[in-house]
C-alpha cells in the first residue's frame, strides 16, 4: 500500500512555497470567515464587513459603463441587436468587432496577440495619449489583464548573465504581483525604497544604492516602476521620470512601466514613460520599454472580465518572436475581454448616441475618485499618529501609522508583525478589512496599511469613522 503522495511540500517547485500575495491573504480569509459568522448570527461589534483589501470597483458598488456592457452583450449574442433597445453606435461597434472575428464569432480563437483591429485601436489610443510619439499595433500584445502580461514579460529575464543570477528592481512599497511573480519565476528582487517624505518619489541615489548592492551578487536586468503608484497613489513628476529613464539608460536596464492607473487621475498630470522617452530624444528615445494597461482599472474597472495590453517597444526581432511564441502556446486572451479593451481604447465620442450617458457615468466615477481621495487624505492626516501623502491617482491610500511599543510587543507575542496585528484588530473590532504594509513592503520601523477608497459615500464615511475610533481606542489601550 502506497503511503506517500508523489507531490509533496518537499518536492514541489520550491518557488511556489515562497509566493505571498497579501491582497488575497490571511486578512481576507479571516474577513470571509467573519462574514460567514455574521450570517450565522455570531454576535460582533459591527453589522457588516467592509472590504477594502482589493481595487475591485464594481464590488464597491461602482456601476459598469453601459456602453461597454451593451457592446459585449451584442458581440456575444448578435441576435439580440434587433430586439433590444440599444443605441445605434452600440450596434455599430459590436458589428465592427464581430467583423474582425473569424466567421464573426467571438467563440473563434483570435490571433495570440489579439484581434488585429483591437491592437490597432490600442495603438491609436497610445498615439493620441503621447502626442508625437509613434505607436504601432505590431508592438501591442493583448492579454488576460496586466498581471498575465507582466508575468510573460518578467519570464524573459530568467537567465543568468556572466554566471550571475538575474535580478529585477522593484519599488518598496510595491504591488505584490511583482514580488509574487518574481518568487514564482525564481528571479531575485532588488528592492528600492520610495521616498515617502517626498511624495513617494524615486530618488536616483536610492536607485543607485539598490543597483550597486544587488549587482554584487546578481545581474540586474530590469527596473519596475509603478506610476500612478500602487499602493502609494502618487503620480510621478516629469522631472523624476527623466531621472529614472537616465538611470535605466546608464545601467542598461529594461524598463517595465506599470501604468495601469493612468486613467485614475485625481489632479497631477500623468505622463507615460513612452512619451517622456520620446521627448527626451536620443539616446533615450531608442530604449526598450514595456508599458502595461488593464481594463480592470481606469473608468471601466472591469476586473472580472480580464483584459489588458502591453506595448513592447524596440525589442530585438528575435526577442519579440520568442515572446510571441511563448504567448501563442496559451492560444489567445478572451475575445469578449478584447471587446472591452476596444471600448476603453475608443469610448463614445461627443455627437454619438451613447455619449451623453457615457459622459454622465464617467463624470460620476471621476467625481467619486476625486472626492474620496481628498477625504481620505484629510481624514487620515487628522488622526493622531497617522500620516498620508496626497493621493494623486490610483484608487488607494497608504497611510503611515504609529504603533505604540506595547502593541508591537503584543504583536510579537502572537508572532505577527505590528501592522498585521493592527489590521487584524481593526478587522475584528470594526469589520474593516485593509491590507497590512507588510504585504507591500515599507521602510523598516515604519508601519502602513493599504485601503481602497472607492466605496459609496456613506460606506466610506463609516469606514473612516471606524478607523479613527479604532485607532484612538488602540492608542488608549497600548499607551
**Choices 332-340, 372-380, 410-418, 471-479 (CB under 8 A): range interacting with its own copies:** 332-340
User: Which H or E run includes 278?
Assistant: helix 273-280
Contact 200, 234 (CB under 8 A): yes
CB of 424 to its own copies, least distance (A): 19
Contact status: 298 vs its own copies (CB under 8 A): no
Q: Binding to its own copies by residue 274, rule CB under 8 A?
A: no
Of the candidates 301, 241, 302, the one whose C-alpha atom is nearest the C-alpha of residue 268 is 241
199 binds its own copies (CB under 8 A): no
Among 33, 37, 48, 108, binds its own copies (CB under 8 A): 108
Distance CA 104, CA 147 (A): 29
x/- map, 300-329, its own copies, by CB under 8 A: -xxxxxx-------xxx-xx--xx-xx-xx
CA distance 464 to 453: 10
DSSP for 24-81 reads GSHHHHHHHHHHHHHHTT---SSSS-EE-SS--TGGGTPPPPHHHHHHHHHHH-TTHH
Residue with Cβ nearer its own copies (117 or 319):
319
Instruction: Please give the Cα distance from 265 to 391 (Å, whole number).
Output: 9
280 is an interface residue for its own copies by CB under 8 A = no
Nearest Cα to Cα of residue 291 among 129, 114, 441, 172: 129
Q: Which of residues 336-365 bind its own copies (CB under 8 A)?
A: 336-337
Please state the closest distance from residue 409 (CB atom) to its own copies, in A.
30
Minimum CB–partner distance for residue 289 and its own copies (Å): 10
Of 178, 233, 202, give the one whose Cα is nearest residue 394.
Answer: 233
Look up residue 298 and give its DSSP letter.
T
Q: Which stretch binds its own copies (CB under 8 A): 130-138, 246-254, 361-369, 447-455?
A: 246-254
Please say whether the beta carbons of 274 and 310 come within 8 A.
Answer: no
The footprint of its own copies on residues 118-147 (CB under 8 A) is 144-145, 147
Residue 155 or 408 with smaller CB distance to its own copies? 155
**Beta strand ranges found along 407-455 (DSSP E):** 432-433, 435-436, 447-452
Closer by beta carbon to its own copies, 222 or else 383:
222
Question: What does each C-alpha distance from 44 to 25, 400, 424, 426 come to in angstroms?
Answer: 22, 27, 14, 13
- The C-alpha cell 457588516 sits at 48
Exactly one of 33, 37, 48, 77 binds its own copies (CB under 8 A); that residue is 77
| Residue 333 binds its own copies (CB under 8 A) | yes
Cα–Cα–Cα angle for 57, 58, 60, nearest 5°?
65
* Complex with its own copies: residue 56 or 259, whichever CB lies closer: 56
> Is the CB of 140 or the CB of 403 nearer to its own copies?
140
Task: Write out the three cell numbers for 332.
Answer: 489567445
Q: Which is nearer to its own copies, 325 or 461 (CB)?
A: 325
CA–CA dist 434, 451 (Å, integer):
5
> Per CB under 8 A, does 176 bind its own copies?
yes
**Neighbour-count burial of 285, counting CB atoms closer than 10 A to its CB (0-12 exposed, 13-18 middle, 19+ buried):** middle
411 binds its own copies (CB under 8 A): no
Q: Does 151 bind its own copies (CB under 8 A)?
A: yes
The CB-of-383 to its own copies minimum distance in angstroms stands at 29
Using the contact rule CB under 8 A, the part of the chain among 119-127, 298-306, 445-453, 464-472 near its own copies is 298-306
| 3-class SS of residue 127 | helix
For its own copies, which stretch binds (CB under 8 A), given 4-12, 192-200, 414-422, 435-443?
4-12
Least separation, in Å, of the C-beta of 427 and its own copies? 18
To the nearest whole angstrom, how small is the minimum distance from the Cβ of residue 126 to its own copies? 21
**Residue 93: closest CA among 437, 404, 346:** 346
- CA torsion, ordered 315, 316, 317, 323, to nearest 10 deg: -60
What residues from 5 to 34 belong to the interface with its own copies (CB under 8 A)? Answer: 5-9, 11-17, 19-21, 24
By CB under 8 A, is residue 1 in contact with its own copies? yes
Q: Is 237 exposed, middle or buried (0-12, 13-18, 19+ CB in 10 A)?
A: middle
Looking at 227, 296, 379, 451, which residue binds its own copies (CB under 8 A)? 296
Interface with its own copies, residue 59, by CB under 8 A: yes
**Number of residues near its own copies (by CB under 8 A):** 104
Question: In angstroms, what is the minimal distance from the CB of 32 to its own copies?
Answer: 9
Binding mask 208-227 for its own copies (x = CB under 8 A): -------------xx-----
Q: How far apart are CA 318 and CA 323, in angstroms?
A: 9
Q: Does 462 bind its own copies (CB under 8 A)?
A: no
Amino acid at each position: 500500500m502506497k503511503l506517500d503522495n508523489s507531490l509533496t511540500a518537499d518536492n514541489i517547485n520550491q518557488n511556489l512555497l515562497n509566493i505571498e500575495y497579501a491582497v488575497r491573504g490571511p486578512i481576507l480569509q479571516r474577513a470571509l470567515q467573519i462574514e460567514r459568522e455574521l450570517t450565522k448570527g455570531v454576535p460582533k461589534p459591527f453589522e457588516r464587513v467592509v472590504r477594502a483589501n482589493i481595487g475591485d470597483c464594481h464590488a464597491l458598488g461602482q456601476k459598469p459603463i453601459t456602453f461597454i456592457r451593451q457592446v459585449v452583450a451584442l458581440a456575444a449574442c448578435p441576435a439580440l441587436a434587433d430586439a433590444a433597445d440599444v443605441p445605434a453606435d452600440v450596434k455599430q461597434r459590436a458589428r465592427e468587432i464581430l467583423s474582425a472575428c473569424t466567421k464573426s464569432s467571438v467563440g473563434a480563437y483570435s490571433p495570440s496577440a489579439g484581434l488585429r483591429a483591437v491592437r490597432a485601436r490600442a495603438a491609436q489610443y497610445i498615439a493620441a495619449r503621447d502626442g508625437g510619439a509613434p505607436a504601432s499595433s505590431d508592438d501591442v500584445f493583448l492579454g488576460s489583464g496586466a498581471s498575465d502580461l507582466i508575468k510573460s514579460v518578467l519570464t524573459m529575464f530568467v537567465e543568468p548573465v556572466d554566471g550571475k543570477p538575474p535580478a529585477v528592481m522593484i519599488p518598496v512599497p510595491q504591488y505584490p504581483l511583482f514580488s509574487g511573480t518574481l518568487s514564482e519565476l525564481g528571479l531575485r528582487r532588488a528592492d528600492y525604497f520610495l521616498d515617502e517624505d517626498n511624495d513617494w518619489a524615486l530618488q536616483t541615489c536610492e536607485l543607485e544604492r539598490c543597483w550597486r548592492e544587488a549587482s554584487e551578487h546578481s545581474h540586474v536586468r530590469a527596473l519596475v516602476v509603478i506610476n500612478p503608484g500602487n499602493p502609494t497613489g502618487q503620480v510621478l513628476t516629469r522631472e523624476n521620470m527623466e531621472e529614472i529613464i537616465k538611470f535605466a539608460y546608464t545601467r542598461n536596464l529594461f524598463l517595465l512601466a506599470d501604468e495601469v492607473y493612468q486613467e485614475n487621475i485625481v489632479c497631477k498630470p500623468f505622463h507615460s514613460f513612452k512619451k517622456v522617452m520620446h521627448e527626451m530624444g536620443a539616446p533615450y528615445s531608442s530604449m526598450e520599454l514595456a508599458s502595461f494597461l488593464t481594463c480592470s482599472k481606469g473608468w471601466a474597472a472591469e476586473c472580472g472580465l480580464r483584459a489588458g495590453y502591453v506595448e513592447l517597444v524596440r525589442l530585438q526581432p528575435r526577442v519579440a518572436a520568442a515572446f510571441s511564441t511563448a504567448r501563442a502556446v496559451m492560444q489567445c486572451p478572451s475575445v469578449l475581454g478584447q471587446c472591452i479593451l476596444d471600448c476603453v481604447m475608443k469610448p463614445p465620442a461627443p455627437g454619438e448616441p451613447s455619449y451623453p450617458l457615457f459622459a454622465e457615468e464617467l463624470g460620476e466615477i471621476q467625481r467619486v475618485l476625486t472626492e474620496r481621495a481628498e477625504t481620505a487624505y484629510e481624514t487620515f492626516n487628522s488622526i493622531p499618529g497617522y500620516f498620508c501623502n496626497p493621493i494623486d491617482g490610483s484608487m488607494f491610500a497608504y497611510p503611515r501609522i504609529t504603533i505604540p511599543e506595547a502593541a508591537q510587543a503584543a504583536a510579537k507575542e502572537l508572532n505577527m508583525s505590528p501592522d498585521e496585528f493592527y489590521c487584524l484588530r481593526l478587522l475584528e473590532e470594526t469589520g474593516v478589512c485593509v491590507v497590512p504594509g507588510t504585504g507591500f513592503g515599507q521602510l523598516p520601523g515604519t508601519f502602513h496599511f493599504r485601503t481602497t477608497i472607492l466605496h459609496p459615500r456613506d460606506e466610506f464615511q463609516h469606514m473612516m469613522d471606524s478607523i479613527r475610533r479604532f485607532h484612538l481606542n488602540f492608542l488608549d489601550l497600548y499607551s
